[in-house]
Amino acid sequence: MADPRFHPRQKPIRLGDVVAKLGDELANPADADFSVTDVAALDIATGQDISFYHDAKYRPLLATTQAGAIFIRREDMGLAPAGCRLVIAKHSYKSFAQLAKMLYPPPDLVPGRAASAVIDATAKIGAGCRIEAGAVIEAGAEIGANCHIGANSVVGRNCVMGENCHIGANVTLSHAILGDRVRLLPGARIGQPGFGFLRDGAAFYPLMQLGRVLIGADVEIGANSTIDRGASGDTVIGEGSMLDNLCQIGHNVVLGRGCILSGQVGISGSTVVGDYVMMGGQAGLADHLTIGSQAKIAAKSGVMRDVVAGDTVAGIPAQPIREHFRQTAWLKKMSIKGER
């Protein structure tokens, strides 16, 4: 059970109401009056909790779970112990997650503007927004309805934000246009000038950085991640992409839709990434590359060449993962032989 100081729980819900809301089905209609108090994993659930089963590796837990009810797929029903209340769900984990959100709904956004927020008179703030203490909204910014701007964050001049965005505390935003439902976690830095210099003899001169950052709908940017604006043209983060904490996105990078970047990933300037690309933690990509859609880049990889759509790469320099594994395995084997 979650700490009620941070995650207040709603009242228990009738199982009948649960299935009605989620479009699921009770294995035994007589279970409709069972009252679900909380959500919990199979191994820690009590008789008042509902759990879920979706993966064969948890099958041993099904035999011993104390859960009061279980979300389960129709084809897995036979695996559950007799007498267990079952909710038949097409996507049992999703149903569980949706119920978790019903029991622990994110706090309602109470509209308002903190007295200490500094909002320029020319900024347009949509209906239902909440602006926390110390936030700064500069001239000409346009913020859509129902946005939440965190304490001590700064929304720069003329930035545009869609509806239902959540900007965490201590965030900086400039030269940026955001779609709906964008979430920027605390300390994210969006829109600062990129890293570009002109060398003239021994000295470097910073180049003008005349672009923007465009962030699609439903994007999440992790805490303390940084996204530079384009040098000319834009840096783009496609709809539904998720970036973990401490990621670095260089100027003019174009990231497709639905990409997943784990923590501390870095992408150098002007690299273009397709849709649904996944990158493991601490992966790094050189500049001016093209990464095809649905490619997978292993954690810690150093990508120095283009990656074909659908490929999986690993290593420094990154190469197709089978090639990488072949080399590491061969080296291990031969170096042992070599010592004998």
Residue with tokens 């032989």: 337
Q: How far apart are alpha carbons 85 and 206 in whole angstroms?
A: 66
In the residue annotation, 251 being an active-site residue is answered as yes
Which one-letter DSSP state was computed for residue 2? -
Taking each helix axis from N to C terminus, what angle separates 92-103 and 15-22, rounded to the nearest 10 degrees? 120
CB-nearer residue toward its own copies: 129 or 298:
298
Which listed residue (37, 92, 192, 235) binds its own copies by CB under 8 A?
Answer: 192
Which listed residue (13, 41, 109, 272) binds its own copies by CB under 8 A?
Answer: 41
CB-nearer residue toward its own copies: 25 or 204:
204
* φ, ψ for residue 197, nearest 5 deg: -135, 150
Which positions from 83 to 102 touch its own copies by CB under 8 A, shown as an x/- string? Answer: --------x-xx--x--xx-
**Residue 58 near its own copies by CB under 8 A:** no
Q: How far apart are alpha carbons 284 and 297 in whole angstroms?
A: 9
| Segment lying near its own copies (by CB under 8 A), choices 15-23, 28-36, 60-68, 127-135 | 127-135
**Residue 284 near its own copies by CB under 8 A:** yes
**Residue 7 near its own copies by CB under 8 A:** yes
Q: Could you tell me which residues come within 8 angstroms of residue 300 by beta carbon, excluding any fewer than 6 positions away?
A: 280, 281, 282, 283, 316
Burial 292-326 (b: 16+ CB within 10 A, else e): bbbbbbbeebbbeeebeeebbbbbeebbebeebee
Which listed residue (10, 12, 124, 330) binds its own copies by CB under 8 A?
Answer: 330
Q: Which residues pair with 320 in a beta bridge?
A: 313
Q: Which helix (H) or strand (E) holds 62?
A: helix 59-64
**Residue 111 near its own copies by CB under 8 A:** no
Q: Which of 166, 175, 251, 324 is catalytic?
A: 251
C-alpha angle with apex 294: 292 to 299, nearest 5 degrees?
Answer: 95
Q: Which of residues 159-178 bind its own copies (CB under 8 A)?
A: 168-172, 174-175
Which one-letter DSSP state was computed for residue 296? E
Question: How many residues in the shown chain lie near its own copies by CB under 8 A?
Answer: 106
**Residue 179 near its own copies by CB under 8 A:** no
CB-nearer residue toward its own copies: 63 or 97:
97
What DSSP line would sit under 70-111, residue for residue? EEE-GGGGGGSPTT-EEEE-TTHHHHHHHHHHHHSPPPP---
**Residue 185 near its own copies by CB under 8 A:** yes
Q: How far apart are alpha carbons 205 and 201 in whole angstroms?
A: 10
Q: Which residues pair with 302 in a beta bridge?
A: 284
Q: How far apart are alpha carbons 17 and 325 in whole angstroms?
A: 51
CB-nearer residue toward its own copies: 32 or 293:
293
**Residue 24 near its own copies by CB under 8 A:** no
Which positions from 228 to 267 touch its own copies by CB under 8 A, shown as an x/- string? Answer: x---x-------x-x-xxx-x-x------xx-x-xxx-x-
Minimum gap (Å) between residue 213 Cβ and its own copies: 10
**Residue 116 near its own copies by CB under 8 A:** yes
CB-nearer residue toward its own copies: 85 or 212:
212
Q: Which of residues 133-162 bind its own copies (CB under 8 A)?
A: 133-134, 136, 138, 140, 150-154, 156-158
**Residue 75 near its own copies by CB under 8 A:** no
Which positions from 195 to 234 touch its own copies by CB under 8 A, shown as an x/- string? Answer: x-xx-x-xxxxxxx-xxx-----x-x-xxx-x-x---x--
**Residue 12 near its own copies by CB under 8 A:** no
Q: Which of 189, 287, 261, 265 is nearest to 229 (CA)?
A: 189
Residues serving a catalytic function are 251
